[in-house]
């Protein structure tokens, strides 16, 4: 990475509430922008191509892998592929903003290894709470929820691999903790939290 601007990597098990916390965080700290990942998983109702994800066919995803367009990419539950496009990071940096990535663990570890300026944050939640959130969301088939819960149990044991850990037992408290960490890291890097308006 040519820039010393921090790249915030938010990781943790499916159902830990990463998406909600990131939305709250970006609302509070305007200089942050979330990179849009690419995926081969089916689009859910209300998801918009280019907003939540770039929804790609398996062939198109593979073509981009071969072209070296991904900073990292993984095969997740049910073999669905997810990846961070290098172009997204470049675009966000060129806009003078600070990038936030929402990644599962394997991808987060890869970025942590590859990007020296990365700051990793692990979002944890109790297993019954994770299960409740996944069932409430009910966007995956029952089998896939079971697979995500099994994976979540394993992943909770890997929190120590990341720089910070925030427990999401209460969204308000967790957002405040996350914002305090991010503000501190931005200050250390000499980056203002930014009051500029969003494009």
Binding site for ligand 5GP (CB under 6 A): 14, 18, 37, 41, 72, 74, 76, 82-84, 102-104, 107
The residue among 88 and 185 lying less far from ligand 5GP, judged by its C-beta, is 88
CB of 14: closest distance to ligand 5GP in angstroms? 5
The residue among 28 and 86 lying less far from ligand 5GP, judged by its C-beta, is 86
Helices of type H across 29-141: 58-66, 86-94, 105-114, 127-137
CB of 184: closest distance to ligand 5GP in angstroms? 23
Q: Which of 83, 48, 90 is nearest to 63 (CA)?
A: 83
Q: Which residue is nearest to ligand 5GP (CB)?
A: 107
CB of 131: closest distance to ligand 5GP in angstroms? 15
Q: If you search the block for the tokens 């916390």, which residue do you land on?
A: 21
Quote the tokens at residue 7: 């790249």
The rounded distance, in Å, linking the Cα atoms of 124 and 109 is 16
The residue among 54 and 191 lying less far from ligand 5GP, judged by its C-beta, is 54
The rounded distance, in Å, linking the Cα atoms of 43 and 70 is 20
């Amino acid at each position: 990475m040519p820039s010393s601007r921090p790249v915030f990597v938010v990781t943790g098990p499916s159902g830990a509430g990463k998406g909600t916390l990131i939305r709250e965080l970006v609302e509070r700290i305007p200089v942050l922008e979330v990179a849009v990942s690419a995926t081969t998983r089916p689009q859910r109702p209300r998801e918009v191509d280019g907003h939540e994800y770039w929804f790609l066919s398996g062939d198109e995803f593979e073509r981009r892998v071969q072209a070296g367009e991904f900073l990292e990419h993984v095969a997740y539950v049910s073999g669905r592929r997810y990846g961070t496009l290098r172009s997204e990071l470049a675009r966000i940096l060129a806009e003078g903003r600070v990038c936030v990535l929402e990644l599962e663990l394997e991808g987060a570890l890869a970025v942590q290894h590859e990007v020296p300026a990365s700051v990793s944050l692990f979002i944890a939640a109790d297993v019954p709470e994770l299960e409740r959130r996944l069932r409430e969301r009910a966007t995956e088939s029952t089998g896939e929820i079971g697979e995500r819960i099994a994976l979540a149990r394993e992943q909770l044991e890997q929190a120590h691999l990341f720089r910070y850990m925030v427990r999401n037992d209460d969204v308000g408290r967790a957002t405040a903790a996350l914002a305090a960490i991010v503000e501190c890291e931005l200050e250390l890097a000499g980056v203002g939290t930014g009051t500029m308006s969003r494009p």
